[in-house]
Amino acid sequence: MKLDLRALLAGEYRTLPVQFDLVIEQDTKNHFTGLTDIRFDTPLSVSGTITNTAGYIRMSLSLSIDYTALCARCLEDVSGSFSFDVERTVVTAKMAEDMTEDRIDELVVVEDGFLALDELLTECLELSLPFRFLCKEDCLGLCDRCGKNLNEGPCNCKKKEIDPRMEPLRRLLDEMKAEEEKEDATPDPQDENN
């Protein structure tokens, strides 16, 4: 999407409403390949304004997109809607030259009266998305032994995991049992020692 800002820059009106959809390409050729575990179910919906206040031009956009991602723990699909805002000061290339470097991030450069936003907004989406998604905050994930989804109930590995901790008690019970059997078969060893 290239917005025509010529009339806004010329001061013919103060505010330009912005409303468009941006399809996020997810093929392997573009730069948007870092997010392999997410697919977008809708285009990126973009709406907002660009306002010229006596030559100071400010772009203020709200964006949202529907996605399906994988839960980082159980690998089930997680669907949702993600929203974020983008605010930038719009400057001409000439103005950008005079800007100090630490302000460059807050700027977007208009070229020959047109503002190209696809790359900027795609980049902002990539940076705004959470690092990982969870199907729910307390997702139990998969058993790292058998791979069962533990949200659906415990697996059999769970019992085996408890076994080592119960081992001393089990051994004690075995010993007591063996001792009892021995006592039944032979006279009390305590008496012999005395």
Contact status, residue 22 vs residue 55, Cβ threshold 8 Å: no
Contact status, residue 120 vs residue 39, Cβ threshold 8 Å: no
User: What is the nearest approach in angstroms of Zn ion to the Cβ of residue 135?
Assistant: 3
- 139 scored as a contact of Zn ion (CB under 5 A): yes
- 116 scored as a contact of Zn ion (CB under 5 A): no
- Closer to Zn ion by Cβ: residue 96 or 157: 157
CA distance linking residue 19 with residue 22, whole number of Å: 10
Q: CA angle at residue 54 from 52 to 59, to 5 degrees?
A: 25
- Closer to Zn ion by Cβ: residue 24 or 78: 78
Neighbours of 127 (CB within 10 A): 8
Which residue among 93, 146, 176, 178 contacts Zn ion (CB under 5 A)? 146
- Closer to Zn ion by Cβ: residue 160 or 170: 160
CA distance linking residue 7 with residue 14, whole number of Å: 9
Cα-Cα-Cα-Cα dihedral sign, residues 5, 109, 35, 31: positive
- Closer to Zn ion by Cβ: residue 107 or 157: 157
Which residues between 68 and 87 bind Zn ion (CB under 5 A)? 71, 73-74
Residue 187's SS3 state is coil
- Closer to Zn ion by Cβ: residue 59 or 139: 139
Which residue among 145, 160, 170, 177 contacts Zn ion (CB under 5 A)? 145
Tell me the chain's radius of gyration from C-alpha atoms: 33
Pairing of strands 44-53, 107-110: unpaired
User: What is the nearest approach in angstroms of Zn ion to the Cβ of residue 132?
Assistant: 11
Token couple for 185: 């078969």
- Closer to Zn ion by Cβ: residue 28 or 36: 36
Binding part of the chain for Zn ion, among 26-34, 83-91, 106-114, 135-143 by CB under 5 A, reads: 135-143
User: What is the nearest approach in angstroms of Zn ion to the Cβ of residue 65?
Assistant: 21
User: What is the nearest approach in angstroms of Zn ion to the Cβ of residue 24?
Assistant: 24
Contact status, residue 140 vs residue 27, Cβ threshold 8 Å: no
User: What is the nearest approach in angstroms of Zn ion to the Cβ of residue 137?
Assistant: 10
Interface ranges with Zn ion (CB under 5 A) = 71, 73-74, 135, 139, 143, 145-146, 155, 157
